[in-house]
Structure 1
Amino acid sequence: MEIITRDSSFTIFNETFQECYHSTNDGAYNETLYKHVIPAFNHIKNKQHIKILDICFGLGYNTLCFLNHAQENLYQGTIEIHSPEINLIDNLYTYKYPKAFDLNILKSLCKTHSYKDKKTNVFLHIGDARDTIRRFVQNNLKFDIIFQDAFSPIKNKKLWSYEYFKDLYKITKKDSIITTYSLNSSMLYSAFLAGFKSYKLKHDTIKDSVIMLKNTLNVDNTKEIDINNKIRVNKSLIGIYD
């Protein structure tokens, strides 16, 4: 059943993980656009080919919103998106998405698990995201953008662990960007141990989010997260992933 969020876009409650796919307070569309799509696109928009890992596909907001945003900003390159999903909702295209989204893309993904046009390739990988990512590691695939948008670290620990972020490190480039809504301390420590630097991204009307990189970031409204201070404050983090 659709749940209308604060910005009038919808989300759904997932019975398996006992969470909504999006923040009802921030709004499904606003959360997607401002926490994931805009920071990722601005970081990588000068590349002629953008390869994205969307974890996990869920209701498809990240993929559809990114493609729409790229089109609105006259992006001239090509886009390739891979998205694992363990439990695809087959009739997603019948829901009331934001008008800007291309539901023909969504319909194709639901029916064939892929979509292709002259500038876009999208692939759904049905099954466990960890297995999919391990295959990407084995095949030496490298991504420019990762939307780290799985259910929360409390509900879905295996997609926020140190071992998980180690694999993400292997499939990202030196200038890649990871976006996520979560500011969970244990998750940030996992990413830190794997080699990522984390930055808090401030937003005016919704909750802050996080950007992760292999290198230094100097962008307005961002501040590097002091992981060492988090360890001093929360000593239970020490040794958690030894």
Structure 2
Amino acid sequence: MNNPIQTIDGSNTLFSNKYNQHFHDLKTGAIKESLNKHVIPAITLKKDAKVLRILDICFGIGYNTFSTIYYILENNLDISVEIYSPELDEELVRSLGEFKFPKEFEKIKHIIDSIAKKLSYEDEKIKIKVFIGDAREYIKTLSNIDIVYQDAFSSDVNKELWSVEYFKDIYKLCKSDALMTTYSISTNVRLSMYEAGFFIYEINPSGNRKQTIALKSQKTIDAKYIDMELKKSRNKEAQAFYD
């Protein structure tokens, strides 16, 4: 494992030599980023659900998955979760038992240790499975997903997880009322999601940084609807990503 890098909220992240990017925005903070960009927006929109099936793309250091469990337990939410997550780097996942996570995760250390040892965890309310391998192939085995955390490395370096073909496979595995969260506000990324069938919305949960939520079915939510046909007419240069 590379040496941990402390982010602004005190939580640690890592730097990927393969993708030449940090796993998290240093100026936001690793746990804050997971909570504000993925967990809180998603669970707020699914607050009436009793069971949630979540796809976490990709597992990495596990912050999105662990922050989900932390948030549910901290707020005493009556929600059972099943989290499925692909990851290429098995060595990274195996090392997480020794990674210095924030104090917020102390109560779920047994879950982290189980993931590091067995790539899975299960109790009466929580089920987590980490798949080591190609995310594009893995997602074809899933169905009935409620929430997708689209948190791959950026489209500049990891375009295969931002293409129209990829998002079409995501669309197929989602329930009709599913949602997808992502940090990206790129018009090209939004077009890729839109061309795959998703409706695009914009939120600003932290008050200073916009982000995207994509819904499989159009509905009224506390977010700004983005008219992608209008975007296309006004920006002829913007193009969706294709394989």
* TM-score where L is the length of structure 2: 0.92
Q: Is there any run of 5+ residues in structure 1 with no aligned partner, and where?
A: none
For the residue of structure 1 that corresponds to 2:171, the secondary structure is helix
Q: Partner of 1:226 in structure 2?
A: 227
- Does 92-101 or 20-29 show the bigger shift? 92-101
Contact conserved, 1:31 with 1:206, CA < 8 A, in 2? no
How much is the aligned-residue C-alpha RMSD, in angstroms?
Answer: 1.7
TM-score normalised by structure 1 residue count: 0.92
For 1:1-242, list aligned pairs within 5 A. Answer: 1-88=3-90, 89=92, 90-101=94-105, 102-136=108-142, 141-220=143-222, 222-238=223-239, 241=242
Paired with 1:117 and 1:206, the residues of 2 have a C-alpha distance of 38
Given that 2:54 and 2:83 are in contact with CA atoms closer than 8 Å, whether structure 1 keeps it comes out as yes
User: Structure 1: which 4+ aligned runs deviate by more than 6 Å?
Assistant: none
Q: Given residue 115 of structure 2, which amino acid in structure 1 is its aligned partner?
A: L
User: CA separation of 1:239/1:128 partners in 2, compared to 1, >3 Å: closer, same or farther?
Assistant: closer
Tell me whether 32-41 or 101-110 shows the greater mean CA deviation: 101-110
Contact map agreement 1:153 1:184 (CA 8 A) in 2: no
Contact 1:26/1:207, CA 8 A, preserved across alignment = no
Aligned-pair distance for 1:73?
2.1
Aligned-residue offset at 1:43: 1.4
CA distance in 2, matches of 1:52, 1:238: 29
1:53 is paired with a residue of what secondary structure? Answer: strand
CA contact (8 A) 1:26 1:206 kept: no
What letter matches 1:99 in structure 2? K
Q: Distance in 2 between matches of 1:108 and 1:95?
A: 13
Q: In percent, how many aligned pairs have the same letter? A: 41
Structure-1 separation of matches of 2:240 and 2:22: 31
Single out whichever of 29-38 and 41-50 deviates more from structure 2. 41-50
Output one character per residue of 1:25-66: Cα deviation in whole Å (capped at 9) or x when no partner.
Answer: 111111110110001111113222110100000010000010
Give the distance between the partners of 1:44 and 1:50, measured in 2 at CA: 8
Give the AA of the match of 1:98: P
